[in-house]
Amino acid sequence: MKRIPVIAGNWKMNTGIDDAVKLVKTMLPDLEKFSSVEKVVCPPFVSLDAVKKALKESSVKLGAQNLFYEDKGAYTGEVAPPMLAGLCEYVIIGHSERRQYFGETDEIVDKKLKAAIKNGLKPIFCIGEKLEENESGKTELVLLRQLLVCSDHANFSNGIIIAYEPVWAIGTGRAATAAQAEKTIAYIRRVVTEQQGGDIGGAVRILYGGSVTAANIAELMKQLDIDGALVGGASLKVDDFVSIARQASEIKK
Ligand code: PGA
């Protein structure tokens, strides 16, 4: 089954409005050349509107890094799904930094997925195990728990992208090997297949994330089940992000 690869940049809490626009405008001419890969940038909330304008008539898509699950109300500082609908197409949900630093549980992640889907946003749904879970052989168990918590409503045929991001690989410079990432992503695909059938399991796009660079993307993209990458640090460097998108596009052509 043909799955269009995705290279998504998670800018995290970096760039003000001017820098965000400058960054995306510098990348844009090169990114436009790689038509066989879907490109997504996820700047901070405050820059979404300005980056959207910079992306006008471009093939590069826009994503937010988070949302709250209520539609409106007395939730100081939060951003509601209807506020993002129409502004961006994607939204990162369940990133391990949100789980770790902001206390997001599986239940909260589940509510956020539901709210995103209800509002027509496509989640980039992050799952991944911590170092100690990996070392004690619990990786599959943790991923299964994270996947199953949302399986009753998150029909993976409706545009959800899964991002496998081992927590120990994020921002550490210690990426999973291509073989490790492939093995785990193939497992995730099997779980989705068992839950939702072969058509959906074969079609859902599953990305790898965690210390992806221009030097390791090629090996990752050569794997059968890896459909792209969620890139943090390297997505802020024009040459690196362009090179990652170029390699992904060439390999999966
Ligand atoms: P990293 O971050 O590429 O800087 O490791 C990835 C992510 O957190 O999505």
The tens digit of pLDDT for each residue in 82-132 reads 999 999 999 999 999 999 999 999 999 999 999 999 999 999 999 999 999
**Closest ligand 1 atom, residue 170 Cα:** 5
Tokens representing 216? 């390791």
Dist CA 83 CA 4 (whole Å): 28
Assess whether pLDDT exceeds 70 at residue 11: yes
Q: Identify whether 153 is a catalytic site residue.
A: no
> Would you call 75 exposed, middle or buried from its count of C-beta atoms within 10 A (0-12, 13-18, 19+)?
exposed
Residue 202 pLDDT level (bands cut at 50, 70, 90): very high
Dist CA 211 CA 171 (whole Å): 6
Residue 154 pLDDT level (bands cut at 50, 70, 90): low
In percent, how much of the chain has pLDDT > 90?
91
The model's pLDDT over 70-86, given as tens digits with 9 standing for 90+, comes to 999 999 999 999 999 99
pLDDT at 156: 77
Minimum CA distance residue for ligand 1 atom 2: 232
Residue 157 pLDDT level (bands cut at 50, 70, 90): confident
pLDDT at 153: 58
Q: Identify whether 182 is a catalytic site residue.
A: no
Assess whether pLDDT exceeds 80 at residue 233: yes
Average pLDDT over residues 64-75: 98
Dist CA 64 CA 137 (whole Å): 33
pLDDT at 151: 61
The whole-chain average pLDDT of the chain stands at 95
pLDDT at 3: 95
The model's pLDDT over 175-200, given as tens digits with 9 standing for 90+, comes to 999 999 999 999 999 999 998 889 89
Q: Which helix (H) or strand (E) holds 115?
A: helix 106-118
pLDDT at 201: 92
pLDDT at 159: 82
Report residues whose beta carbon is within 6 angstroms of any ligand 1 atom: 10, 165, 170-171, 209-212, 230-234
Minimum CA distance residue for ligand 1 atom 3: 232
Reported pTM: 0.97
Minimum CA distance residue for ligand 1 atom 1: 232
Out of 38, 104, 133, 165, pick the active-site residue: 165
> Would you call 97 exposed, middle or buried from its count of C-beta atoms within 10 A (0-12, 13-18, 19+)?
buried
Residue 23 pLDDT level (bands cut at 50, 70, 90): very high
At position 213, the amino acid (one-letter code) is T
Out of 38, 95, 97, 133, pick the active-site residue: 95
pLDDT at 158: 72
Q: Tell me which of 6, 7, 10 to substitute to probe ligand 1's pocket, judged by most ligand atoms within 8 Å of the beta carbon.
A: 10
Q: Residues 208, 164: contact at Cβ < 8 Å?
A: yes
